[in-house]
Chains A and B, each alone.
Chain A
Amino acid sequence: MTTTTLRPPVRPAAKAPRDAHQADRLWKATPLTWFGLVLGVILSLFPFYWMIVIASRTNDAANSWPPPFLPGGKLGENIQRVLENGDANIVKGLMNSFLVSGTITIATVFFGSLAGFAFAKLRFRGKNAMLLVILASMMVPIQLGVLPLYILMAELDWLNTMPSVTVPFLIGGFGIFMMRQYAEQAVPNELIEAARVDGCSTWRVYWHVVVPALRPAAAVLGLLTFMEQWNQFFWPFVVLADPANPTVQISLRSLNTAYFADNSQIFAGTLIATLPLFIVFVLFGRQIIGGIMEGAVKS
């Protein structure tokens, strides 16, 4: 995507050389800039390094003075201990998290692009009022309805099951807004008109004209949604009280509530819980960053 392009290096040729030189100086990074950035990078990355250090030590070594600063050789052993931990059920948690986040991601991209297309390109009564409701829904914290939602889940017999953390989040306002913004600019009206003249139904217009045009934005929406859902904690904490059927974040919570705090095991758990998103970030980091930055410009 073009979103990750840097500031264009081309400057207007008409400018006098002296001007250009001055402008160059204006954007040069000073030693202070470098110092700030390097410090920022170190602070950003250190906790990840620390995760590996503690996850690869015995618990005794993790709790020593001074603290260990280099990774040890116990990573495999610690990971095995976490995977086999009967209170945390982290394997189940990982599978559940993949299932839940994957389902929500697919649903969000599909429903989001469908509704985004409708709001951007179709005419219907009540459109603006509906958009307003969607916008307002994004401002409301889940806490406001948490108790009745919990009661509802109990009545549906969904407590401690995955539908309780999946179904309410299948489509949110953010996905619709993002798709609408993109569809407005990326789908030319003439193309839709032409398809209509050719006798396309609205659904075929969506499938053959809109979907191909939305693909880049849909990918970013999918990535952001998956990350957000994978990391969800508050609502799963409320409805998944039974440690036998957790999401991965709830497994981490179970590790933390153990009577004896086994730090090397907890850290191995955080490593496992972060690894899928780390892989996603390594593969698609540019798109994710592009998505965050683009969303900012539009809002």
Chain B
Amino acid sequence: MSLDLDTAAPPGGGGDRARPARAAHRRPASLTRLDLKYSPYLYVLPFFAIFAVFSAYPIGYTVWIALTDRSPLNATISFVGLDNFVELLTDDPQFWNAVVNTFGMFVLSTVPQLLLALVLANALNRKLRAQTFFRMAIAMPIITSTAVVALIFSMIYAKDFGLVNWLLDLVGLGPIDWRANRLASWFAISTMVDWRWVGYNALIYLAAMQSISKDMYEAAALDGASRRRQFWSITIPQLRPTIIFTLIISTIGGLQLFTEPLLFTSGSGGISGGSEGQFQTITMYLLDVMNTRFRWGYAGAVALVLFLLIALVSLVNYLLARRISSDK
């Protein structure tokens, strides 16, 4: 949108064009050829150097380590084939507990998060006074870190003096021990995630809504379609690519959930996710295996399965979102 303007009116720096000409100390043609040929590679080199050492190599190493019993406690490393994966998938209730928790909180946070973001974006897309104020206020939570969010909400959900329990008491409901009960803890953690991300997603939806042609709505209104009808029949289908995008981003983020449940427990021992692991996520379990039990080979298997789950769920979400919107 705005970018076209920038292209049409090159920045002030463009006026400097005469300067390089002045400085054109003609270089040998061979040097120019070398420059043209190798400069591009030089410019992309920093990324690939860092990627190779700190991403590609560790990922490859993960695959290998998952096939061994490596541990800082073992003097020797032996190759164990797929044993780690077999144990993980067939004989590890704690892993499956973490999978259930992660997915539970993922669904419990993502669905309301995206729905609320859609509703907010739709409201922000109206003619409003103080537009900028509303956008800034709603986007503000993105400046907080997940650690800050977790600490603030941990107190809001405190059992004894927490704000939420006080509100519940006000309307005559008994206090809830937000950490002891599995569903309650999932709910509390999901609200932390949602508080931080609803505004962000609303801005993304708003941007997409603004690029929908206004004529479509006017035509629909002339045909007597209600606002609600316009929302479901024009806005949602037009937003399909954006919804898919936010779904995938939320999937990648949601299945990696870590900080909020970790800090939900005050004191040490947060990594176990509650007294019975009722809110231990896969990432927490991964670090548990890695740093408390020192089973590095097994941790490699956990990391790989986590990655496969993320890829699988992203794919399913993608297909679902495509399907749902094209049915309309």
Contacts and interface: CB of A to CB of B under 8 A. Distances in A.
A206 B39 CA distance: 11
B139 A288 contact: yes
Interface in A246-295: 249, 252-253, 255-259, 261, 263, 266-267, 269-270, 273-274, 277-278, 280-281, 285-286, 288-289, 292-294
Interface SS of chain A: helix
A172 to B, nearest CB: 8
Contacts of A170: 46, 50
Contacts, number: 354
A41 B137 contact: yes
A127 to B, nearest CB: 8
Contact of B242 (A195, A208, A296): A296
Interface string A147-175: 11111100000000000000110111100
Interface size class of A (residues with CB under 8 A): 35 or more
B24 A145 contact: no
A111 B47 contact: yes
A179 to B, nearest CB: 11
Contact of B62 (A43, A144, A176): A144
A124 B41 contact: yes
Contacts of B44: 115, 118-119, 130, 176
A89 to B, nearest CB: 15
B6 interface: yes
A185 interface: yes
Interface residues of B, number: 125
A62 B152 CA distance: 12
Contact of A213 (B10, B51, B199, B242): B10
Interface string A188-228: 10010011001111111010110111011000000000010
A128 interface: no
A45 interface: yes
Contacts of B16: 208, 212
B50 A167 contact: yes
Nearest to A195: B20
A22 B123 contact: no
A150 B135 CA distance: 40
B153 interface: yes
Main secondary structure of the interface of B (DSSP, over half): helix
Contacts of A62: 155, 161
Nearest to B191: A43
Given A37-B123, A273-B145, A147 B166 contact: no
B299 to A, nearest CB: 5
Contact of B286 (A115, A143, A151, A199): A143
Contacts of B65: 147-148
A78 B145 CA distance: 21
B207 A296 contact: yes
Nearest to B252: A141
B2 A3 contact: yes
A95 interface: no
Contact of A141 (B24, B40, B307): B307
Interface string A27-71: 111100100110011011101101100100000001111110000
A134 interface: yes
A114 B20 contact: no
Contacts of A143: 256, 283, 286, 303, 306-307
A260 B61 CA distance: 41
A4 B136 CA distance: 11
A256 B263 contact: yes
B97 interface: no
A278 B290 CA distance: 36
Contacts of A278: 143
Contact of B138 (A44, A198, A258, A263): A44
Nearest to B39: A202
B304 interface: yes
Given A141-B306, A208-B16, A273-B148, A199 B139 contact: no
A6 B123 contact: no
Contacts of A227: 142-143
Contacts of A151: 61, 296
A-B pairs, top 5 by smallest CB distance, nearest first, are A212-B13, A145-B58, A199-B24, A231-B145, A2-B2
20 contacts: A29-B123, A33-B126, A40-B138, A40-B198, A47-B152, A127-B40, A139-B252, A140-B307, A143-B283, A149-B58, A152-B53, A168-B53, A172-B47, A191-B14, A194-B17, A212-B12, A231-B145, A256-B270, A270-B144, A274-B143
Given A27-B127, A114-B46, A139-B311, 6 more contacts: A122-B39, A141-B255, A143-B286, A145-B61, A146-B303, A212-B16
